[in-house]
Every structure is written in C-alpha cells, then in structure tokens.
Chain A
Amino acid sequence: MTAALEVRELYMTFSGVDALSSVSLSVPQGTWMGLIGPNGSGKSTMLNVLSGLYKPRAGAVVVSGSDLGRVPARSRIKHGVCRTFQHPQLAASLTILENVMVGAVRGRGASADDETGLQWLARLGCAEYAEHLPAEVPYGVQKRAEVARALISEPSLLLLDEPAAGLSARERAELVAALREVREVLPDLTLCLVEHDVGLVASVCTELAVLSAGKLIAHGPTDEVLADDAVKLAYLGSRSTT
C-alpha cells in the first residue's frame, strides 16, 4: 500500500543555511503525525514545502503515490493537500461560513453545500459563529474555521500549522475535542500537526517526528519518541532553557 505522505531526501536552503537537510519520512494513511522541534528547527519550513509555498532545493514530496514536485501550491488542494496557518488567513469581508466554503470551490469536495460547511463548523464547535465576520469572533474560532475550510476540500493530507498557538487553556481543550471529533468522522485522513505544545500533540497524535536544526532526529510511535534520549536532549533540553 502506498504511503499517504512520503518525503525523500528533502533539502531546503535559505541564503546558504540548510533549513531542512536530508529529511526522509513515510507516513501511512490514517496516521496522525505530530511534527515537533525547537524554534528554528525547520517545522514550519517543512509545512511550507509540503504545501508548495516553498520550493525545495532537492528531494521529493509524494502524496498518495503522486510526486508533487512540479505541482504549484495552488494546485495541491486538488491532490488532496490542504493546510491551515499559524496566523489565521481568513478573508475579512467574508463570513466564517463563506470563508469555509472557499475551501470547496477548488477542493475535491466541490459538491459540498452550505449545509456541509455548517456541519463541519458544528463538529468543530463553532457553528453559532457561521454568519459572523472573522473580526467579530474569538481567535480560537478563527483558527477552527481554517480547519473547517481545509476539511471541506476533502483532503487526504491535512497540514495544521500551530493550531493551538495563541489560544487560551479552554480554547486548547475545545481544539483537542474538535480534532478528536475529526478523527472519528474521517478515519482515513492523514494529519501532519506542527505544534509547540507537546502535551497537545501527544494527546492527539499516534506518531511523532522530531526535527532539530533541519534534521529529522526521531520518528516513531508517540510514546517511544518521547522516551528517546536524543529527543529529550535536543528538544526538551533546549526547550527548558528558553
């Protein structure tokens, strides 16, 4: 069976510095993988490469068997790749529901109607805000609206960029509940979650991949990776000093 996501020998360079160096990993379909690492380790770069916003210097990104090397960012949604942003990117003049429905226009769920959009918002616990503008709703709702917009495009690979950043403890709890709901409804969805809050990652992800200085230093089941000494040193060690 082909992996939902396969990354081979990925290199990304910014003005001579390797932001990603020889990263290879394979994620089976339906796996929820957390991508963690200290600041500047290359997590966000990785997400930008996967979503096509950055062009890697070398290496391949293969999603469900098709090589996305020549697929521009705007066409990746058709290949089932969709993402959210650390700072929610919603159109300020569109309602939350309209923003969600934008994901259906060019996505694979082109037949989705407003009901489907509302349904996703309800599952993520923010249907009551459907007719509001982004500026009128809490930050956490904006972030979950982005998740709904991504989901309505019927992705096979969903990339979440720090969905919990900037959220209160209560909003984090709501987010975790929402993500669990998503996993229940879409067991085949593959998820790549970039997040600083390791506790949150561990509570929803079955696999962890750890980046440090652009290199993949560990990848495996969550509990094994968290117990790994190298990970403790590189990630948790450096985290406790900041």
Chain B
Amino acid sequence: MELLQTSLILGVVVGIVYSLSGAGLVVIFRTSGYISFTQGDIAAVGLFVGLAAYNSGAGYVWTALLVIAVSTLVGGLVGALITVPLEKHGHLPAALSTIATALIISGLLNLTVGGDPRSFPEVSRSEALSILGVQMSWSDVAGVLVSASVFIGLGVFFSRSRMGVAMRAVNDNKLAGELLGVPDRRLKLVSWTVAGALSGLLGLFVAPILSLSTVSVNTLLVFGFCAIVIGGFDSIFGALVAGTAIGVMTNLTSTYLDPNLVPTVLWASMLLVLLVRPNGLFGRRKLVRV
C-alpha cells in the first residue's frame, strides 16, 4: 500500500515538473506552428555550464540562476539565428533545423564534456514534509512550487498581457499579432527565449533525478512530446494535466510492471488518446479555413 502511495504522490511531483517540458514546447508551437527538438540540448548547455560553476565553488542559488540564464540565452539565439530565419522555406525545414541544432549541440557537448553521466546538485535531500506517509524532500517541494507558479505565470501571461494574447493569435493569423501592435518576428523570438528559460528551469529539477548526460536530456523531449499530444497542442493547461498523469502512470508502470516498459507505455497512451481524441484532451478542434 505504501508503495502505491509513493508512486502516486511522487508521480504527481515529477509529472508537474515534466509538464514544464510540454509547456516550453507549447510556447513555441503557439507562435510558430511547429515543434522544437532542441529544447533538451538547450537545457543541457545551461546545466553543464551551471555544473562547472558549482564545482568551482558557486552556491546552489547562483548555479540555478546561471543555468536558467544560459538556457534562456541559448534558446533565444537558436531561435533568432537558425530556426526562425529558416521559416521562409516552410514549417518542415524549420522543424528539421531544430534537429540539426540538437545534433550540433550534443556533438559539441560530447566533445567538450564527454558522454559520461554526471550527478547534478539539487535543492536539498532533507525531508520537508510527509503526505500520507510519503516523505518529500525540499527538492520535491521546490519542484512542485516553482512549476506551479510558472504555470500560473504563463496562464496570466497568455490571457492578460498584450504580448501573450498576440502570441496566441499569431499562429492563427499572422496579421493578428501586428494588429495588436507586436510584430510577428519579435513574438517568435520571445517565445524561443521563454522556452529556453523553461527548459533550463526544468533541467534543474530533472538532472538530479536522471543524472546529467547529453543523452538523458532527450528524456525531457519525450515526456514533453507526450504531454502536448495528450494534452492538446495549444493548451498550457492540457500540458499540466497530461504531464501530471504521465508522471503518475510512468511511476506506476515502473513500480508494478517493469521500468523498461515506461517509454512504451508513454507511446501507447499517446496513440490511444489520438485514436479517441485526435486533438488531445484539451485541444481545440481546428476548423478548416477555406
């Protein structure tokens, strides 16, 4: 029974963190209409820089801030210099260019820091509180609180701020953003920067669990992809719900079935949702525009 409670509660904890990965992808999707494959590698750059700082004596808070700052910068640069300019050839080349960027970044990281997994510092292992007999560390609590506030922040941003509303509109209609006084290109760059920051933040909570390597960061992508397909592409809220559900489901799978089945269960549940609800659980049904 305790095993079940642990899988459920810690599942919710990692799920909320994973859903951040989906949120980053949704932010880019909303302005640009395609998906980035490079978010995991963007996070990795920030994390390795942060780890270097930590190892040379920086405190955790400074490390965390550095990770987010670097990921934000790298995210913005990838968007500004590579992907957004390639949109002139269409969405497919733009999406493919994120694969190219991912290959380049992971190659560079492999050359400089190597492919061996490293342990990454976390907030604190010590027990913060216990729910239904399940102990949660300060890291877990911080992950949930920070993720939740980021989600609230994103929700407010998209519904209240002029730029957020323009971001929602721009993918539907190029003119909409400009009517709201925000140029299309700037919206896209902002979304790439925000998505970069989100991946860095997410990496901070995930790297201690998975240990940091150039390969492990791709796990974020898979969870993020599943979260947005299940939740619905344009829905931040959907990413949150789906991410949490995925967290619980993967924990249950690895506890009661086999950890090797986790990715397969993820993929299968994604297909199942697609069969029943092609636009995800919270996605809008798109009307054909003629």
A and B are partners in one complex rather than unrelated chains: yes
* Total chain A interface residues with beta-carbon distance under 8 A: 9
* Complex CA–CA separation, A161 to B288 (angstroms): 15
- The yes or no answer to A48 lying at the interface (CB within 8 A) is yes
- The yes or no answer to B275 lying at the interface (CB within 8 A) is no
A-contact 0/1 string along B5-26, CB 8 Å cutoff: 0000000000000000000000
A-contact 0/1 string along B143-185, CB 8 Å cutoff: 0000000000000000000000000000000000000000000
Chain B contacts with A in 244-290, Cβ cutoff 8 A: 287-288, 290
- The yes or no answer to A29 lying at the interface (CB within 8 A) is no
- The yes or no answer to A137 lying at the interface (CB within 8 A) is no
- For B290, list chain A residues within 8 Å (CB): 44, 47-48, 53, 85-86, 161
- Tell me how many residue pairs across A and B have CB atoms closer than 8 Å: 11
* B26 CB, nearest partner CB in chain A, Å: 22
- For A48, list chain B residues within 8 Å (CB): 288, 290
Residue of B at shortest CB range from A44? B290
- For B288, list chain A residues within 8 Å (CB): 48, 53
B-contact 0/1 string along A75-102, CB 8 Å cutoff: 0000000000110000000000000000
* Complex CA–CA separation, A161 to B290 (angstroms): 9
B-contact 0/1 string along A159-194, CB 8 Å cutoff: 001000000000000000000000000000000000
* Complex CA–CA separation, A86 to B289 (angstroms): 11
- For B287, list chain A residues within 8 Å (CB): 14, 54
B-contact 0/1 string along A30-69, CB 8 Å cutoff: 0000000000000010011000011000000000000000
Chain A contacts with B in 111-126, Cβ cutoff 8 A: none
A-contact 0/1 string along B48-64, CB 8 Å cutoff: 00000000000000000
- Residues of A whose CB lies within 8 Å of any CB of B are 14, 44, 47-48, 53-54, 85-86, 161
- Residues of B whose CB lies within 8 Å of any CB of A are 287-288, 290
Q: Nearest 7 pairs between A and B by C-beta?
A: A53-B288, A48-B290, A85-B290, A53-B290, A44-B290, A86-B290, A161-B290
Q: Can you list 9 A-B contacts (CB < 8 A)?
A: A14-B287, A44-B290, A47-B290, A48-B288, A48-B290, A53-B290, A54-B287, A86-B290, A161-B290
